[in-house]
Structure 1
Amino acid sequence: MHRVIALAASIALLPAPAYAQSSLSPADRAAAFRAGGFKLAGKQWRACGDPGTPSYSPGTIETVRDLNGDGRPEAVITEGSTYCFGMTGMGYTIVSKQADATWKRITANQGIPTFLPTKGAGGWPDIEVGGPGFCFPVERWNGKQYVLNRHQYQGKPCRPQR
């Protein structure tokens, strides 16, 4: 029974199917991981420094799509580990392909990103950062970085417990 619950919980944490990795060339995949601060260790991309705990899952490009409408792809890279990311168990990094074909890290955080229809500067979507609890931070792009904009739960304003 516990195994089924654990499997269901891990599936619920995945924001998008892992098949998205195949939509980038091998060179772009490697460049995206490097821009996100990941290093290749054997056949795994790693960033968080987990010493090998059972909860660890290496970096995976979960989705590739144009998030800000500039015609170039962004990649959402996830990595799992309670050692590195606490009870949330997952961290994410968003990297963007630039006009000169290089990749740039846009943001990284612990939690589960959900892209919202509301937007910040340059057409970047607001990101609800999910995790344990019932009041999640929403970050908005200010033209230079993602910053806290509000808290919400199921689309309604809330106040996080202190």
Structure 2
Amino acid sequence: MIRALTTGAALLSAAAAAQVALAPADRDAAFRAAGFLKMGGAWRGCDDPGTAGYTPGSIEQVEDVNGDNLPEAVITEGSSYCYGGAGAGYVLVSKQGPARWRRITQGTGMLRFLETRGVGGWPDIEIGGPGFCFPVERWNGREYRRVRFEYEGKPCTPAHR
């Protein structure tokens, strides 16, 4: 998630900019790699029955986060029905070559890239949600695994694990 965004309008305009940052074929392939289905013109990843707070899948960020000269995309979806108190879910997908995308990780909460890095130059990710102590995961070459908890860059211990 992009930290500087604070208003819904700013978030929507940033999401719209990210959507156009990928060619339509790449955008669709990224959503499919994330496990989303296109229904009624919107990409859906969870089975929300149409609650008032549901927001369909959106590409929030597109950039080369691991330095391989291919883009990664952060796809988000909003739903307290599907994601509980966090109200949001994310999927990180990576372009693997022409027209091929791969799901790297997914979860409940809001993903934020950190400066620290794991194997292959992949950035650590902080997974925000309710509370003030968030898990940080690091890429080990096969998957993202939790390595610590922090809040505003400082170590913390979550109230409930």
Structure 1-normalised TM-score? 0.90
Match of 1:23 in 2: 21
Equivalent residue for 2:114?
116
Aligned counterpart for 2:125 among listed residues 124, 127, 149: 127
Q: Unaligned 5+ residue runs, structure 2?
A: none
| Paired residue total | 155
Contact 1:72 1:98 in 2 (8 A): yes
- 3-state SS of 1:17 partner: helix
Of the three residues 140, 143, 153, the one matched with 1:142 is: 140
Distance 1:32 1:137, change over 3 A: same
Structure 1 segments, 4+ long, off by >2 Å, are 8-12
Q: Which residue of 1 aligns with 2:78?
A: 80
Q: Deviations over 1:77-110 (max 9, x none)?
A: 0000000011111100010000354000000011
CA–CA separation in structure 2 for the residues paired with 1:9 and 1:46 = 24
Kept in 2, the 8 Å contact 1:136–1:151? The answer is: yes
Q: Is the 8 A contact 2:29 2:99 kept in 1?
A: no
Q: C-alpha distance in 1, partners of 2:35/2:88?
A: 16
Q: Percent identity among equivalent residues?
A: 60
Deviation at 1:9, TM superposition (A): 7.6
The answer to whether the 8 A contact 2:134-2:158 is kept is: yes
Q: Residues of 2 paired with 1:45 and 1:96: CA distance?
A: 18
Q: Contact (CA 8 Å) 2:25, 2:99: kept in 1 or not? A: no
Unaligned runs of 5+ in 1: 1-7
